[in-house]
Chain A
Amino acid sequence: MKNYDVTVIGGGPGGLAAAISADNAGASTLLIEREARLGGVLKQCIHDGFGVIRFGEKLSGCEYATRLIRELETTGAELMLSTFVSKAEKQRDGYLLTLTSRGGMERVFTKALVLATGCRERTAKQVAIHGTRPAGVFTAGTAQAFLNVRGQMPGKRCVILGSGDIGLIMARRLTLEGARVLGVYEAKPDPSGLMRNISQCLWDFDIPLHLSKTVTTVHGDERVEAVTVAEVDEKMRPIAGTEEYIPCDTLILSVGLIPENELAESLGVPLDKKTKGPFCDQSYMTLVDGVFSCGNTLHVSDLADYVSESGDAAGRRAASYARRERSLLPVNISRDFSYVVPQYLDPEADLSETVFFFRTAAERKKTKLRILLDGVEIKQKQYNGLRPPEMERIPFDLSGAGLTKDSKLELLMEEVRS
């Protein structure tokens, strides 16, 4: 049976970065990908805007993946494609993985595990849309794969539900390919995608954005014939009498992403209800020793650059992983936060490259973020505004702060009056 220091599961931007950094740190490394090609979701992200932070230029998702794949090829990391991890078992000194591929079943042993399994899209059944189940209802990512990987049009007259970035990108993409996008409907009063995508994907093509409206019913037997949309109240309940019948042949859903953590759960890794990813410390180690998590597996990120950044760190830390007792210190947040990652700090591990990622619970104007250690402010940062769809990143060298297992660390937000 083959034996590795680090095994990375998932060959998207997080997993690629993790495998590269683990190998560069001297660990014997295995990267497992269930598809025939590396790149994860980036394979179908033909649009540009990727890599502004990591590579200092605007690349398409495909180019971003290509750069990481070329870098991986210069390392000694082993690669298994079209291979699925069907089982992971904890043993005394590491993890036993059962792999399934065309060659059959095999087992490998690894000291540390990096979960880079990404996320999945929320489906129609998860957002309470009524009516029949005809062909023509797609998640945005599925429609994207049809169009950008297989070259097949998902439909001609499309309604998009949800204003997440993939939905906005697909509105433009379908329009360019000759489909008519009748409108993007968002149940919330604010769009969930980045403002630059509202501008370049909707405004550029005169695609209407309808806020506080949702799709309530799908009509059609064999194929979608129409959808009913309705206004919603502040609790997102449809308002009777506001229904509108919109003939169309396609409904595209961009209604959120959920981290994929079935393997983590099978190993008993506790998950954060808010992020739906594992709780972790500043080394991206989950609460189960030797199991690391990165990228969209940990929490859904706005940018591939944040995904590969956490992959870099998780791979490097997994490479130097040695089993010991951890006494973790919780990172306390006020109700103003939707969440923070990492949720814990390990005072015994390297704190110099700590990076906090957080989202605000509600839209805010000028805000001061404060980090307190035992009630004393050790860092602050001012924001002109905060929006729930936009993830914020604070790199913070905490190595000299004097953290112990009994310290109290808090993150607070304060309104700044101008």
Chain B
Amino acid sequence: MTKELICITCPNSCRISAELGENGTVSVSGNLCPRGEIFASNELTCPKRSLTTTVRTVFGDMPVLPVRTAGEIPKEMIMDAMAVLSGLVIRERVKCGDVVVRSILDTGCDVIATLDL
């Protein structure tokens, strides 16, 4: 079955047609660059997303700290990851890029600060 996708890798937003073959190979068309192929093939087998959100802090000048996953995690784990992060409180000053959660939900993907606190 052919699936119509919008590539989310860059602002070009390529419209991609992707088909999963019987032997697990993915055939892709419509993408302007190789990143579209990787996106489409992930999308048909194990869709992944990066998660960007905030976590609470104890500091009055910045009550919430913006964070993101350093890479992408499986899409179906996004809400579970949100639950983990909503329970977190940052009690020490951190810098942009510092790890606030190591390998969230054992995905191998760290959660990092995206601003200096």
Interface residues of A (CB under 8 A from B): 43, 46-49, 52, 58-60, 62-63, 66, 147-151, 173, 176-177, 194-196, 198-200, 204, 302-303
Contact = CB atoms under 8 A, between A and B. Distances in A.
B64 A176 contact: no
Given A49-B11, A52-B10, A63-B114, A150 B52 contact: no
Contacts, number: 78
B103 to A, nearest CB: 19
Interface in B10-60: 10-11, 13, 15, 49-54, 56
Interface of B: 5-11, 13, 15, 49-54, 56, 63-64, 66-68, 75, 78-79, 82, 96-97, 114-116
A381 to B, nearest CB: 15
Given A66-B96, A195-B15, A198-B6, A48 B50 contact: yes
Given A62-B115, A63-B96, A199-B8, A150 B64 contact: yes
A151 B54 contact: yes
B13 A194 contact: yes
B39 to A, nearest CB: 10
A303 B64 contact: no
Which 4 pairs between the two chains have the least Cβ-Cβ distance?
A151-B64, A195-B13, A46-B66, A199-B6
A402 to B, nearest CB: 34
Nearest to B95: A66
A60 B52 contact: yes
A153 to B, nearest CB: 11
B66 A148 contact: yes
B78 A176 contact: yes
B49 A204 contact: yes
Nearest to A147: B54
Contacts of B115: 43, 62-63, 66
Contacts of A52: 10-11
B13 A204 contact: no
Contacts of B6: 195-196, 198-199
A67 to B, nearest CB: 9
Nearest to B47: A204
B53 A204 contact: no
Contacts of B9: 58, 196
Contact of A302 (B7, B11, B51, B97): B11
A52 B5 CA distance: 20
A199 to B, nearest CB: 4
B105 to A, nearest CB: 15
A199 B51 CA distance: 15
Contacts of A43: 115
A52 B10 CA distance: 7
Nearest to A46: B66
Given A63-B97, A148-B64, A204-B75, 9 more contacts: A46-B114, A48-B52, A48-B68, A49-B8, A63-B115, A66-B114, A151-B63, A195-B15, A196-B13
Nearest to B97: A63
12 contacts: A46-B67, A46-B114, A48-B52, A52-B11, A60-B52, A66-B96, A147-B54, A148-B54, A151-B63, A196-B9, A196-B11, A302-B11
Given A150-B64, A195-B13, A200 B82 contact: no
Given A149-B64, A194-B13, A200 B8 contact: yes
B11 A303 contact: yes
A43 B116 CA distance: 11
A36 to B, nearest CB: 9
A398 B87 CA distance: 57
A46 B68 CA distance: 8
Given A176-B82, A302-B11, A62 B63 contact: no
Contacts of A200: 8, 49
A212 to B, nearest CB: 21
Contacts of A149: 64
